[in-house]
Structure 1
Amino acid sequence: MLSATGWGTLAAGTVLTGFGYALGYGEAAALGMACLLAVAVAVLWALPAPVLDAERRIAPRRVGRGDSAEGVVTLTNTGSRTRRGLRAVDRCGEGDITVEVPALHPGTAHELRYALPTARRGRVPVGPLRLERTDPLGLARRMRPYGDPDTLLVRPRVCPLPVLPSGQAHHVEGPASDTADDGSLTFHALREYVLGDDLRRVHWRSTARTGTLMVRQMVDVSLPHTTVVLDTRQRAYASEDAFELAVDCAASVAHAAARSHFPVHLVAERGPLLHTDGSGDDGDALLDGLAVVGRSDLKSLAAAFDGMESHRGGGALVVVTGTDDTRGLGAVDRVRHRFDRVTMVRVGAEPEAAREVSGPRPDVPQLHVASLEDLPAGWRREAAR
């Protein structure tokens, strides 16, 4: 197909040729014929379809905001002729990434690497990959798609944090799953005996009834639970960057608990976002879920605390919000007695005193964070309190 330059050259050549012959201007006719000849040569140059194999992968497929990610394209010339004038065009988000391809000799392979944008959190569509063959003047090109579209997941940034101690007794090493070896004294279920089980947990009545040795399965209910309330209201933050920092802070708090195999409950003013039980790859699940969290138009944060009056009790409540609009933060006082400790993370510059009127009582600890690098020091002080 012709490029925009090619269509312009074709139109100019047609007009000049007709004008020159009609009015007897030989120079104009010659120039017009040269334009038409250039277009014809360009089409013949780009017409042969390259015989290539192309494979594109994303490395890595999940990355923290601001970290590096690459598209890696491997091109193999499976034909019998050297291919020149090729370039790879990969669709990424709303724009294209173009990479020039060097000459490919028959039977040779070449690997192309190019950076993918990771400045914005979310799912970034990548592809489909296109190979374009163009003439030296850029008048004509031939495009051929390769492979299927893919997705790069840009997750929040996280920093290492300790888990806030809460409750009277803690299983400091986890796990929180139903497969805990000893657990606490809370009965969960019956299961068949496996080699290594404590014989003191054998349930003899069920063993006699089923003819199979059955043991009691216990779970540890003293594990510290962490509830994270993320304020996603647009009016709570001064800028988009402040909201992204709030998501990073919430992700860091939740990931610290999940990494230690402790349960995490993540909510926003629109309702629950994610709940993990402390087993498996909960940390990755939390980061994947927070990668696609957006801002809301709601006016108050109070709805995020509506379901917490029936909280089982204990654990830590962490509220992550901004410093602009504080409507609904006073609802923390309704549920704070259900938790062992409550901490608030305020993202942005420290608010004026007038803005604190609708917030929680002054005895709720507040950490003011201007960047993600400020969070660990303040969090460690809160953990040691």
Structure 2
Amino acid sequence: MTAAPLETATALLRPAGERARRAAVAARNVLAPVGRALWRVLGPALRIVTPVGWIVLGLAVLALVLSSVFGWQEFTFLGWVLLVALVVAAVFLIGRSSYGVLIELNPRRVVVGDRAMGRMVVTNTGTRRLAPTRMELPVGRGTAEFQLPAMDPKQEQEELFQVPTNRRAVIVAGPAESIRGDQLGLLRRAVRWADPVDLFVHPRTVRLASSAAGLVRDLEGQVSSKITNNDLAFHALRPYVPGDDRRYVHWRTSARIGQLMVRQFQETRRSQIIVVVPTAARFYADEDEFELAVSVGASIAAQVIRDGTQLDVVSEGGPWRTRSVTSMLDSSCRLAYGDTGGFASLRALVRERTRRLPAPSVVVTIGGSALGAGDIRSVQTLFGPDTAHIGVVVEAGSPARLGSAGGTLMLTLGRLEDLPALFRGVGS
């Protein structure tokens, strides 16, 4: 008996809810552009007030409201004192600066643990003397602060700083900002003077033997045993059959024996190596293991590039740049531990990242101790039988060993220094 009234009420409320939703969407579409326009106008002024300044302003308003409601003179005095403090703080923002700032990093590329120094040169490019000020320079996640003295026109001030390089990363130095504000930190005006500069902290790598390992090095293509009707490597002659391309008829032999003969060729394959370095945390025991995997992948990729073999390196974030060893190492610096890229499995990652690439000669899959044999076999199913597969598992403290599983060559190592010996074993 109660079901019918309930269904009736639901049917009546449904149109009302739909109208409310449409009204909310329409209001948002109208108010959003207005809000963005107001923020463009008022944002620069509002950003001058620091969190402490907003607290002081709120206390001043609260004190004056309490004073007007209850007639407490003490709150009147407190409110006006706080407002005067904000007005006095605004005086420190008056004035213009004319700086020329140069940020230099030497060198621009270092290996994890190497020392990296930076230099900031500040010049008074104006025609009047500048008062002392504070300059802030963001360096990675930290901020370097420099107290600049009063500077005459064309005067230079040099400041040195050190960049931490204990982790693989792309460290951004800059932009430099000159800071004007009061001593209490109520108001703060920052002016940017220089573009940021990138410092690439490359992973540690080891050099492999150029003959290492299942990594095909033939630039002109590897001759296979498969016979084809057109290629570069001549194999033999055979009788002509209808449908053969007449361009490959060997006319001299055909005239001598009185029968059309066509050339046969051995198929040549372009050497193509794909290195897979996943970044998802589920393949590693911890971040240190991930960093070791990145070092292993970068070491293999660097040697392949030096050998002149076609190479592609893929991760969740996208393909690496592999035109040179330097560009490859720069790409490795941008890998973020734990980035899944929206891929549910390693197979989905490799399938998506390699679908536009030519068929590879060798696929090298690198992961941590949590990378299972099933994950590597799932990658193996994506490619044909002519593709060789190498699985590299990094596990901190594990002894180096060489084995195989399901037709895949498996390398296990606990230190980066074990990699050259393992790959010499693969080559033999």
TM-score by length of 1: 0.62
Write out aligned runs for 1:83-232 (5 A). Answer: 83-90=131-138, 95=141, 97-107=143-153, 108-116=155-163, 121=168, 123=170, 127-165=174-212, 227-232=273-278
Change (3 A) 1:65 1:264: farther
Residue among 16, 33, 46 paired with 2:93: 46
Which amino acid is 2:150 matched to?
Answer: L
Higher relative contact order (Cα pairs below 8 Å, separated by 6+ residues): 1
Aligned length: 317
Please give the alpha-carbon distance, in whole angstroms, between the structure 2 residues aligned to 1:33 and 1:268. 63
Change (3 A) 1:375 1:9: same
Residue among 390, 409, 413 paired with 1:368: 413
Question: Does the aligned pair in 1 maintain the 2:129–2:152 contact within 8 Å?
Answer: yes
The residue matched to 1:320 in structure 2 has which SS? strand
* Structure whose CA Rg is larger: 2
Deviates more, 1:106-115 or 1:243-252: 106-115
Residue among 282, 287, 290 paired with 1:240: 287
Deviations 1:69-93 (A, max 9, x none): 5553321234533422423243x66
Please give the alpha-carbon distance, in whole angstroms, between the structure 2 residues aligned to 1:383 and 1:110. 57
The residue matched to 1:86 in structure 2 has which SS? strand
Change (3 A) 1:248 1:225: farther
TM-aligned CA deviation for residue 153 of structure 1: 4.1
Deviates more, 1:14-23 or 1:48-57: 14-23
Asked if 1:382 is matched to 2:417, the reply is no
Question: Does the aligned pair in 2 maintain the 1:331–1:360 contact within 8 Å?
Answer: no
TM-score by length of 2: 0.57
Counterpart for residue 250 of structure 1 = 297
Deviates more, 1:226-235 or 1:300-309: 300-309
Question: Does the aligned pair in 2 maintain the 1:89–1:130 contact within 8 Å?
Answer: yes
TM-aligned CA deviation for residue 96 of structure 1: 5.8
Structure 1: gaps of 5 or more residues: 178-185, 188-221, 352-356
Asked if 1:345 is matched to 2:388, the reply is no
Please give the alpha-carbon distance, in whole angstroms, between the structure 1 residues aligned to 2:315 and 2:129. 62
The residue matched to 1:73 in structure 2 has which SS? strand
TM-aligned CA deviation for residue 132 of structure 1: 0.9
Please give the alpha-carbon distance, in whole angstroms, between the structure 2 residues aligned to 1:33 and 1:24. 11
Question: Does the aligned pair in 1 maintain the 2:136–2:177 contact within 8 Å?
Answer: yes
Write out aligned runs for 1:229-308 (5 A). Answer: 229-232=275-278, 234=280, 235-259=282-306, 261-268=307-314, 273=319, 282-293=324-335, 295-296=339-340, 297-301=343-347, 304=350
Please give the alpha-carbon distance, in whole angstroms, between the structure 2 residues aligned to 1:53 and 1:44. 24
TM-aligned CA deviation for residue 3 of structure 1: 2.6
Which amino acid is 2:413 matched to?
Answer: H
Please give the alpha-carbon distance, in whole angstroms, between the structure 1 residues aligned to 2:64 and 2:91. 21
Please give the alpha-carbon distance, in whole angstroms, between the structure 1 residues aligned to 2:135 and 2:180. 7
Deviations 1:231-271 (A, max 9, x none): 41633322333233212101011112323x43142354889
TM-aligned CA deviation for residue 290 of structure 1: 3.2
TM-aligned CA deviation for residue 50 of structure 1: 2.2
Question: Does the aligned pair in 2 maintain the 1:265–1:274 contact within 8 Å?
Answer: no
Please give the alpha-carbon distance, in whole angstroms, between the structure 1 residues aligned to 2:117 and 2:301. 28
Seq. identity, %: 25
Asked if 1:330 is matched to 2:377, the reply is yes
Change (3 A) 1:326 1:83: farther
What is the RMSD of the two structures over their aligned residues, measured on CA atoms?
4.8
Deviates more, 1:302-311 or 1:230-239: 302-311
Question: Does the aligned pair in 1 maintain the 2:165–2:201 contact within 8 Å?
Answer: yes
Deviations 1:192-244 (A, max 9, x none): xxxxxxxxxxxxxxxxxxxxxxxxxxxxxx9x967353241633322333233
TM-aligned CA deviation for residue 358 of structure 1: 10
Question: Does the aligned pair in 2 maintain the 1:77–1:104 contact within 8 Å?
Answer: no
Question: Does the aligned pair in 2 maintain the 1:71–1:115 contact within 8 Å?
Answer: yes
Which amino acid is 2:312 matched to?
Answer: L
Change (3 A) 1:52 1:269: closer
Change (3 A) 1:275 1:83: closer
Counterpart for residue 56 of structure 1 = 103
Deviations 1:38-75 (A, max 9, x none): 43332212322223222334444444455555553321
Please give the alpha-carbon distance, in whole angstroms, between the structure 2 residues aligned to 1:144 and 1:271. 34
The residue matched to 2:374 in structure 1 has which SS? coil
Change (3 A) 1:40 1:287: same
The residue matched to 1:54 in structure 2 has which SS? strand
Please give the alpha-carbon distance, in whole angstroms, between the structure 1 residues aligned to 2:313 and 2:49. 53
Which amino acid is 2:326 matched to?
Answer: D
Please give the alpha-carbon distance, in whole angstroms, between the structure 2 residues aligned to 1:275 and 1:85. 42
